[in-house]
């Protein structure tokens, strides 16, 4: 039955010599929270940029020489960002609750279901992550052994969870610096908390682009697993019609 489904429904351009099976990969809860987090985080970044415009103090520079300013005026004009501070604050403070709730539910589900075992980096994860990077760049031919996720995925996905927790803490620290003075002080003060919050946001953007490129490289089968929950695993060579 699996062969019939995969041959005639999922890919009609494969010859009858194909032998494959359906392998379950992602549970429904993981898929729902993954796809919910994408628009939520996108709105959070967009609204945060509307807020940041009012006091855009950060730049990469050496001494007085500015290498790159966050952000050039052309970026603000391109995305129609100027003079939308109030709008940005309204969206940001509403969707932060959705971001927190989705993250909390994901963390609880991961712990209760045991999915955390697939995410926690194992011994030698940094070394194997570098090997994965070299493989993806075409420098190394062989991938290190992997299970559901490779070492680079384990490190990056675990880092995203930690980053989300950091964003919540620093976000509240700069949202209510007087009422939550103890938290602001714990984060190193208002300026440090704001800088960390901004750096984490840049980290999300970089992660998104790398993640998107990796999804494209992995192909349709990998993307389908995050939509339908399963992959079609080939058991022997497939010949196109």
Quote the pLDDT of residue 229: 86
Main-chain dihedrals φ then ψ at residue 240, nearest 5 degrees: -70, 150
Question: Distance between CA atoms of 174 and 165, rounded to whole angstroms?
Answer: 15
Distances (CA, A) of 47 to 40, 120, 149, 197: 11, 31, 32, 14
Which of 210, 219, 225, 229 shows the shortest CA–CA distance to 152? 210
- What confidence tens digit (pLDDT) does each residue in 102-160 have? 999 999 999 999 988 888 888 888 888 888 888 877 788 777 777 778 888 889 999 99
CB atoms under 10 Å from CB of 18, counted, come to: 18
Given a cut of 70, is residue 237 above it in pLDDT?
Answer: no
Given a cut of 70, is residue 9 above it in pLDDT?
Answer: no
Quote the pLDDT of residue 24: 84
Question: Distance between CA atoms of 6 and 9, rounded to whole angstroms?
Answer: 6
Greater confidence, 217 or 194?
Answer: 194
The owner of tokens 């796809």 is: 35
Quote the pLDDT of residue 235: 66
Quote the pLDDT of residue 238: 46
Can you tell me the mean pLDDT for 49-78?
93
- The model's pTM is 0.83
Instruction: Give the confidence band of 11 by pLDDT, cuts at 50, 70, 90.
Output: low
Q: Do 173 and 193 contact (CB within 8 A), yes or no?
A: yes
Quote the pLDDT of residue 219: 84
The owner of tokens 């695993």 is: 233
Question: Distance between CA atoms of 44 and 40, rounded to whole angstroms?
Answer: 6
Quote the pLDDT of residue 175: 95
Comparing 13-17, 42-46, 153-157, the range with the smallest average pLDDT is: 13-17
User: Strand, helix or coil at 60?
Assistant: strand
Greater confidence, 216 or 202?
Answer: 202
Which of 52, 105, 100, 41 shows the shortest CA–CA distance to 75? 52
Can you tell me the mean pLDDT for 1-5?
47
The tokens for 51 are: 């807020």
Q: Do 153 and 160 contact (CB within 8 A), yes or no?
A: no
- Spell out where the chain has E strands: 20-24, 59-62, 65-69, 230-234
Question: Distance between CA atoms of 184 and 174, rounded to whole angstroms?
Answer: 7
């Amino acid at each position: 039955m699996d062969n019939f489904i995969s041959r005639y429904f999922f890919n009609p351009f494969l010859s009858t010599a194909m032998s494959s099976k359906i392998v379950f990969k992602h549970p429904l809860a993981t898929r729902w929270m993954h796809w919910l987090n994408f628009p939520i985080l996108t709105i959070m970044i967009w609204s945060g940029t509307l807020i940041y415009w009012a006091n855009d103090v950060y730049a990469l520079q050496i001494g007085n020489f500015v290498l790159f300013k966050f952000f050039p005026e052309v970026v603000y004009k391109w995305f129609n960002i100027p003079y939308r501070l109030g709008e940005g604050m309204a969206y940001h403070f509403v969707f932060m609750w959705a971001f927190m709730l989705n993250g909390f539910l994901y963390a609880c589900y991961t712990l209760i279901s045991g999915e955390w075992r697939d995410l926690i980096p194992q011994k030698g994860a940094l070394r194997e992550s570098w090997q994965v990077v070299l493989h993806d760049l075409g420098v190394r031919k062989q991938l290190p052994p992997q299970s559901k996720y490779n070492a680079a995925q384990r490190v990056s996905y675990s880092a995203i969870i930690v980053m989300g927790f950091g964003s919540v803490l620093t976000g509240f620290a700069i949202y209510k610096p007087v009422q939550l003075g103890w938290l602001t002080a714990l984060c190193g003060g208002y300026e440090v908390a704001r800088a960390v919050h901004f750096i984490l946001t840049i980290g999300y953007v970089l992660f998104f682009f790398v993640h998107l490129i990796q999804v494209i490289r992995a192909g349709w089968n990998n993307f389908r697993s995050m939509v339908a929950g399963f992959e079609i695993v080939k058991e022997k060579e497939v010949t196109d019609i």
